[in-house]
């Protein structure tokens, strides 16, 4: 469910009450207390990656007990999912669902299927189908397929720079009264195929091939991107792209890590040279580095930190400025996956950096109707900024947000995330059906 941004306290109070109920349920519900043996149990619940050897029987039973829901012909499966329904004054009634299906014959899974489908009465569309096989039996190769269709009614562009205005002023200095002045409608079907390869121990790599088409039109009567122009004059079009990543992964679990490090070096090159006779030329490159680390602070407390640094070069289209690359693309800089307290895609330029730091406190582990639930309280700090050139990179000028939240981990796979963040510009409140990092 998308996060929403509201500048007034009444809305924030409603979400704060919901957060309180969420945490009270996690604390007061029937569950398992945490004793001195928790540390050993945690390392058994989230086993290290095992390559080329069988699990110990007791460890396998413990690990599966948190994830498996049923067997079919002796195969353990886990299925989690929830409906999505909410009202927004900008997009109308939104409805859909998110469903996750995993085969747990192998750790972390033999294959996993994720379907996220949401549309609105005003024409918003957000469909994502993701299928991943981390390792094909008998090989060191895996595959991942991602196909998506998005029609975003409120994609943002405030111009390039770390201190862009947000007071509806056009490039000539005139006041603009259209509330959608900084918004545009983005329609973007996309398909990505990735070949995965385990190299040695925690080291792996992938190579990807993708195709996408972007159509962009103003949301309101006037639009900032039309008045100010787009970087390089490139708006959208059709393109193909290739990508390559190198990963170092020592996390003890993919969804609920408490120990370890995940680093990813990602390169992507997009070009529509075969279609250049008919469309605007799209020819840009994206370099993304991600560093994520987890530490156990106490039997109940986990500390997590993520830093992302990205550089864009070439003839960069408007839509590319609105997302961060890597194996998992997110919208930024700003919004519910980057800076929780600023508008989505609030800051953008050729060079961008952001970090998220979270303290995650385990309140309770409960068992309801055969489902395993872990309830956590969160405190977080987010930072980020952008630059036009690499030579301008410096530690000053960071934008800061801080807040609190709650998490419910369902069968160690499905995540319900509720956050409240406060920045110098506004209050952010959001509910999501996925992990941040």
Tokens of 411: 């069968």
Could you tell me how many helices (H) and strands (E) the chain has, helices first? 4, 21
pLDDT in tens, 38-93: 344 344 444 444 444 455 677 778 888 889 889 999 999 999 999 999 999 999 99
Q: CA of 148: how far to CAs of 79, 128, 275, in Å?
A: 21, 4, 22
d(CA 230, CA 270): 18
Would you state the pLDDT for residue 218? 93
What pLDDT shows up at residue 37? 40
Q: 3-state DSSP call for residue 226?
A: helix
Q: Please list, residue by residue across 408-433, b when 16 or more beta carbons sit within 10 angstroms of its beta carbon and e when fewer do.
A: bbbbbbbbbbbbbbbbebbbbbbbbb
Helices 38-45, 57-65: crossing angle, 10 deg rounding:
90
pLDDT at position 3:
46
- Could you give the domains of the chain? 4-432 (2.40.160.50)
Handedness of CA 30, 252, 1, 98 (dihedral sign): negative
pLDDT at 22: 47
Give this prediction's pTM: 0.84
Res 272: pLDDT: 61
Per-residue pLDDT of the chain (437 residues; tens, 9 = 90+): 544 444 433 444 454 455 454 444 444 444 444 444 434 434 444 444 444 445 567 777 888 888 988 999 999 999 999 999 999 999 999 999 999 999 999 989 999 999 999 999 999 999 999 999 999 998 999 999 999 999 999 999 999 999 987 777 777 777 877 888 999 999 999 999 999 999 999 999 999 999 999 999 999 888 999 988 888 777 777 888 999 999 999 999 988 899 999 999 999 998 765 544 454 567 899 999 999 999 999 999 999 999 999 999 998 889 999 999 999 999 989 999 999 999 999 999 999 999 999 999 999 999 998 899 999 999 999 999 999 999 999 999 999 999 999 999 999 999 999 999 999 999 999 999 999 99
Distance CA 223, CA 156 (A): 10
Give the pLDDT of residue 428: 92
Q: By the 8 A CB rule, do 366 and 375 touch?
A: yes
Residue among 209, 98, 77, 188 nearest 143 (CA): 209
The pLDDT score that the predictor gives to residue 55 is 52
Write the pLDDT tens digit of every residue in 10-21: 444 454 455 454
- What is the Rg, in whole angstroms, of the alpha carbon atoms belonging to the chain? 22
């Amino acid at each position: 469910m998308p996060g929403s941004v509201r500048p007034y306290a009444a809305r924030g109070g409603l979400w704060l009450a919901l957060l309180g109920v969420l945490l009270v349920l996690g604390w007061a519900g029937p569950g398992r207390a945490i004793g001195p043996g928790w540390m050993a149990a945690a390392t058994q619940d989230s086993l290290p990656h095992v390559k080329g050897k069988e699990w110990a029987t007791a460890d396998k039973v413990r690990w599966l007990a948190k994830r498996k829901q049923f067997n079919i012909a002796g195969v353990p499966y886990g299925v989690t999912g929830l409906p999505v329904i909410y009202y927004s004054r900008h997009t109308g009634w939104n409805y859909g669902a998110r469903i996750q299906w995993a085969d747990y014959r192998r750790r972390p899974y033999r294959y996993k299927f994720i379907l996220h489908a949401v549309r609105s009465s005003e024409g918003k569309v957000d469909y994502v189908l993701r299928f991943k096989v981390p390792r094909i039996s008998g090989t060191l190769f895996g595959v991942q397929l991602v196909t998506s269709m998005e029609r975003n009614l409120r994609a943002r562009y405030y111009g390039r720079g770390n201190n862009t205005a947000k007071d509806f002023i056009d490039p000539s200095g005139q006041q603009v009264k259209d509330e959608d002045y900084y918004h545009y409608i983005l329609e973007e079907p996309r398909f990505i195929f990735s070949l995965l390869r385990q190299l040695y121990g925690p080291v792996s790599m992938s190579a990807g091939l993708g195709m996408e088409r972007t159509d962009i039109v103003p949301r309101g009567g006037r639009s900032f991107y039309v008045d100010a122009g787009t970087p390089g004059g490139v708006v959208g079009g059709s393109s193909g792209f290739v990508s390559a990543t190198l990963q170092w992964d020592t996390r003890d679990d993919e969804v609920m890590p408490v120990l370890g490090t995940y680093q990813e070096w990602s390169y992507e090159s997009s070009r529509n040279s075969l279609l250049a006779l008919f469309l605007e030329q799209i020819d840009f490159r994206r370099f993304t580095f991600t560093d994520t680390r987890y530490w156990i602070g106490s039997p109940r407390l986990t500390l997590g930190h993520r830093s992302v640094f990205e550089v864009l070069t070439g003839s960069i289209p408007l839509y590319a400025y609105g997302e961060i690359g890597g194996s998992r693309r997110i919208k930024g800089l700003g919004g519910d996956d980057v800076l929780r307290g600023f508008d989505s895609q609030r800051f953008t330029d050729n060079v961008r950096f952001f970090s998220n730091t979270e303290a995650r406190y385990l309140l309770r582990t409960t068992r309801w109707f055969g489902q395993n639930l872990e309830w956590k309280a969160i405190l977080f700090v987010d930072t980020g900024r952008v630059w036009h050139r690499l030579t301008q990179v410096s530690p000053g000028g960071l934008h800061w947000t801080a807040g609190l939240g709650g998490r419910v981990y369902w069968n160690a796979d499905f995540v319900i995330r509720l956050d409240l963040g406060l920045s110098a510009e506004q209050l952010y409140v959001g509910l999501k059906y996925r992990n941040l990092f």
